[in-house]
Amino acid sequence: MMVHRRGFTLIELLVVIAIIAILAAILFPVFAQAREQARKTQCLSNGRQLGTAIMMYAQDYDEAIVGWFKVGEYAGQPLWERFWIGMLNPYVKSEVNRPAAGQRWTPGATPKGLYACPSWSQSNYLKGANMPDCYPGSLDPYFPPTELFSHYGMVFQMAQRGGAGTQQNPYYHYAGSLVYPAANGGLTRYLAEIRRPGETILLGDGVTMLDRGPTYVVIALGCESQFIHQEGSNFVFLDGHSKYISRNSERYLMSTTENGQTVWFMRYYTFSME
């Protein structure tokens, strides 16, 4: 007795392939979004731990806000020790890039441990920086870095607020500290000065690095990071919590009245107004 086996026709094979292609086109973006959500969650977790370290530092230093940079304490001191990374690391005990003997940095090194964001990319960072609502071209001369200490940046010190108080040019007043002598621009802020600690950014997706010279220390965060986690970025606030903010974090404004007039200020970057 003969058994006849019927194979697939070309049309049937093409239909099956088309169905698989359609399913892949539907599911692959979902998988990519799920992976990015996991990376964003890891980055938020890093931020929460760094926020706890910021609070612990303040407890040990009379409520002082940790500085973004400090004066050198001995000859040949590694740069990472002088950044906020070095000041917070005793509280988090995270892995860092340590330079070889006699070097102040590790050429070409990238961040490790809590100082690395799994979603960070140079192209996305510069894309945000070069948007019309950010600072087009301002960071291009500094990339690629000689050493990338962290995928996070910290705001710097400001003795007086900047801006004009309009919606186009709102006030801003960063809450950062610089641990230097006052004669050299040093300024320490304290938690008691912060009007809205739950809405005042200190740390977040950004960059702490030595530029391609190497010539300059570069530390930045803000609108530049608006594409790090798809369409937004993560930040750490001065009450210790971390939060995701969509799009350009510098364009969230608040208003108040001064001298009978309405003035505007950056909601997340103006510690002295409420």
**Domain region containing 176:** 11-270
Number of domains the chain is built from:
1
Tokens of 232: 């937004």
- 31 — pLDDT class (breaks 50, 70, 90): low
pLDDT of residue 217: 92
pLDDT at 254 over 90: yes
- 16 — pLDDT class (breaks 50, 70, 90): confident
- 30 — pLDDT class (breaks 50, 70, 90): low
pLDDT at 164 over 70: yes
The verdict on residue 3 lying in a domain is: no
pLDDT at 226 over 90: yes
The verdict on residue 56 lying in a domain is: yes
pLDDT of residue 5: 55
Q: How crowded is residue 164: how many other Cβ atoms within 10 Å of its Cβ?
A: 11
The verdict on residue 108 lying in a domain is: yes
Beta bridge partners of 253: 266
pLDDT tens per residue across span 106-134: 888 999 999 999 999 999 999 999 999 99
Are 117 and 102 spatial neighbours (Cβ–Cβ below 8 Å)?
A: no
Are 147 and 97 spatial neighbours (Cβ–Cβ below 8 Å)?
A: yes
The verdict on residue 98 lying in a domain is: yes
The verdict on residue 259 lying in a domain is: yes
Nearest one of 126, 145, 144 to 136, comparing CA atoms:
126
- 51 — pLDDT class (breaks 50, 70, 90): very high
Q: Which residue has the higher pLDDT, 11 or 272?
A: 272
pLDDT of residue 84: 97
pLDDT at 7 over 70: no
pLDDT at 253 over 90: yes
The verdict on residue 1 lying in a domain is: no
User: What Cα–Cα distance (Å) separates residue 20 from each residue in 17, 35, 133?
Assistant: 5, 22, 42
Tokens of 231: 């369409």
User: What Cα–Cα distance (Å) separates residue 87 from each residue in 56, 70, 81, 115, 222?
Assistant: 11, 9, 7, 13, 22
The verdict on residue 156 lying in a domain is: yes
- For all residues of the chain together, what is the average pLDDT? 92
The verdict on residue 5 lying in a domain is: no
Beta bridge partners of 267: none
Q: Which residue has the higher pLDDT, 8 or 11?
A: 11
